[in-house]
């Protein structure tokens, strides 16, 4: 670590209580007595910046993981190498606890960094033991992972500054985009419904007038008319509205049998979220901004949501995701996970999704990235990662994937180097 860079670790002195979770010796057979030697990272320019973490060992085995908020989280993940060198990567839970202990206070960026490292440790462990990661997480409930396609705002993700939003975000464009996605094999999709209606709307007020509400209803109606009711359809509000507006809009949408209404109010306003959930028959989904099992437990106990959307690349890792799923299952809440990642994070999400009972579907956010399926190959298997709206669970050891270095090099983000 460079001397002029900040050290995020909690100091051992200063009255801060902590346990020593490091291990000087690991009494294991030689084939499992391995050590972490380094943590390397690279960023790829997808539809978001995808943060790839590589944990290396003193054997031929290495592990891959992915972080959310790539630039900051990758920087932190590399700094954590000072605490990881010499540790046995098979001690996944202990190492994750050690990092949580030493980097307490680093917030969501820290959680994202932990996630990339923890996922890479599972990848190593699966490779060392010769089994897929899902076997290490408890086995599988399913062979295929259902994917829902984020279809954004129809044909237009952002309106031109000089255009009338109602001429860009039209029922026809939403219906056309829905038809294309369904024809590609997806059995579930969602749209953004927080798109603008009036150029001069006071968005700070978080309130919609009647014209704006009816415009949004017309978009949903057009989609249902086009694809029918056998396809799961969600709508995302991106935390933008008041309780009054969310309830008014939600009730107008109830005839269209939505799979969920996502994030109607800001995530920190738990009481407001509960009030919306109680007033609607349409399920309310939230969770991408909750990154710990404790937080999910607190909000679930309030009865504030119907479907949980933890993000596998920022909640602290696969085991933490599994804890979240168990907590939600105790409250009768299914999982429709948030996911804006590359195939690396998506496959990691597929492994843990296979190992939990209360899984519904996982998001796919990169339909506009034509090389998404080309970035990784299945270890010892043929076929794309995502096909016809499903991920067939890889059966190779670890995550069961390998990054294609030629594709990765072609799409490296500025200022990063290939580590594969």
Among 384, 366, 387, 368, which residue's Cα sits nearest to residue 376?
A: 384
Q: How far apart are CA 252 and CA 259, in angstroms?
A: 15
Instruction: Walk along the chain (420 residues) and give the pLDDT tens digit of each residue.
Output: 344 555 555 554 444 445 677 776 668 898 999 999 999 999 999 999 999 999 999 999 999 999 987 778 999 999 999 999 999 999 999 999 988 888 877 788 888 899 999 999 999 999 999 999 999 999 999 999 999 999 988 765 444 455 677 788 999 999 999 999 999 999 999 999 998 887 667 778 788 899 999 999 999 999 999 999 999 999 999 999 999 999 999 999 999 999 999 999 999 999 999 999 999 999 999 999 999 999 999 999 999 999 999 999 999 999 999 999 999 999 999 999 999 999 999 999 999 999 999 999 999 999 999 999 999 999 999 999 999 999 999 999 999 999 999 999 999 999 899 999
Provide the pLDDT for residue 6.
56
| Rounded Cα gap, residues 288 and 108, in angstroms | 11
- Predicted pLDDT at 284: 98
If you write DSSP's letter for every residue of 314-333 in order, what string do you get?
Answer: TSS-HHHHHHHHHHHHHTT-
Find residue 233's DSSP bridge partners. Answer: 189
d(CA 218, CA 203): 20
Q: Which two tokens stand for residue 8?
A: 């995020």
Residues of the chain with CATH 3.20.20.120: 136-396
pLDDT computed for residue 18 by the predictor:
57
pLDDT recorded at residue 199: 64
265: CB partners within 8 A, 6+ apart: 239, 241, 242, 243, 246, 272, 273, 276
Q: Cα separation of 355 and 133, whole Å?
A: 9
Q: Which two tokens stand for residue 18?
A: 């902590």
**Pairing state of beta strands 376-378 and 359-364?**
unpaired
Residue 156 pLDDT: 53
Architecture of the 1-131+399-420 domain: 2-Layer Sandwich (3.30)
Tell me the two tokens of residue 35: 């050590």
Q: How far is CA 418 from CA 130, 179, 377, 399, in A?
A: 26, 38, 17, 20
Helix (H) or strand (E) segment spanning residue 39:
strand 36-45
Closest CA to 155 of 235, 236, 224, 219: 219
CATH code at 136-396: 3.20.20.120
Pairwise CA distance, residues 356 & 137, whole Å: 9
Strands 284-286 and 144-150: unpaired
Q: What's the pLDDT score for residue 170? A: 92
DSSP secondary structure of 350-407: HHHHHT-TTEEEEEE--TT-TTGGGSEEETT--S-SEETTEEEPP-SSBT-EEE-HHH
226 near 175, Cβ under 8 Å? Answer: yes
Q: Which residues pair with 191 in a beta bridge?
A: 235
Number of H helices, E strands in the chain: 14, 15
Select from 6, 334, 360, 367 the least CA-distant residue to 177. Answer: 367
Q: Which run of H or E residues covers position 150?
A: strand 144-150
Contact between residue 310 and residue 296 where contact means Cβ atoms under 8 Å apart:
yes
Residue 232 to residue 43: CA distance in whole angstroms: 33
Backbone angles phi, psi at 43, to 5 degrees: -115, 135
Domain with CATH 3.30.390.10 in the chain: 1-131+399-420
Query: What is the strand order of the sheet 36-45 is part of?
Result: 36-45, 49-57, 62-67
| C-alpha 201, offset from chain centre | 31
> Considering only CA atoms, which of 217, 133, 134, 129 is closest in space to residue 174?
217
Residue with tokens 């200022």: 415
CB distance 64 to 52 below 8 Å: yes
């Amino acid at each position: 670590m460079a001397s002029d860079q900040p050290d995020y670790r909690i100091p051992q002195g200063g009255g801060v209580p902590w346990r020593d979770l490091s291990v000087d010796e690991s009494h294991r057979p030689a084939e499992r007595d391995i050590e972490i030697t380094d943590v390397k990272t690279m960023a790829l320019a997808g539809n978001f910046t995808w943060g790839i973490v590589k944990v290396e060992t003193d054997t031929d085995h290495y592990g891959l993981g992915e972080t959310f908020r790539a630039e900051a989280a990758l920087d932190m993940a590399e700094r954590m190498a000072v605490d990881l060198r010499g540790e046995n990567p098979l001690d996944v839970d202990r190492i994750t606890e050690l990092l949580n202990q030493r980097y307490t206070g680093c917030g969501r960026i820290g959680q994202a960094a932990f996630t990339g490292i923890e996922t890479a440790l599972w990848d190593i462990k699966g490779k060392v033991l010769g089994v897929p990661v899902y076997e290490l997480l408890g086995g599988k409930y399913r062979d295929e992972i259902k994917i829902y396609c984020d279809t954004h705002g129809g044909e237009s993700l952002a309106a031109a500054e000089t255009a009338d939003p109602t001429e860009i975000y039209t029922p026809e464009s939403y219906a056309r985009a829905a038809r294309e996605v369904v024809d590609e094999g997806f059995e579930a999709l969602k749209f953004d419904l927080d798109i603008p209606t009036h150029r001069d709307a006071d968005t700070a007020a978080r309130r919609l007038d009647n014209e704006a509400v009816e415009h949004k209803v017309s978009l949903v109606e057009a989609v249902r008319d086009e694809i029918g009711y056998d396809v799961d359809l969600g709508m995302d509000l991106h935390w933008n509205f008041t309780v009054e507006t969310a309830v008014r809009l939600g009730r107008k949408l109830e005839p269209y049998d939505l799979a969920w209404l996502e994030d109607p109010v800001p995530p920190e306003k738990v009481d407001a979220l509960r009030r919306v959930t109680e007033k609607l028959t349409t399920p309310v989904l939230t969770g991408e901004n909750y990154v710990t099992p404790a937080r999910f437990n607190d909000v679930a106990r309030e009865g504030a949501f119907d479907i949980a959307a933890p993000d596998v690349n920022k909640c602290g890792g696969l085991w933490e995701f599994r804890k979240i799923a168990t907590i939600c299952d105790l409250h009768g809440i299914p999982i429709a996970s948030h996911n804006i990642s590359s195939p690396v994070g998506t496959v990691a999400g597929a492994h843990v999704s296979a190992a939990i009972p209360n899984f519904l579907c996982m998001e796919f956010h990169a339909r506009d990235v034509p090389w998404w399926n080309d970035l990784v190959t299945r270890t010892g298997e043929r076929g794309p990662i995502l096909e016809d709206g499903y991920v067939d669970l890889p059966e190779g050891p670890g995550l069961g994937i390998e990054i294609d270095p030629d594709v990765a090099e072609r799409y490296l983000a500025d200022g990063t180097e290939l580590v594969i």
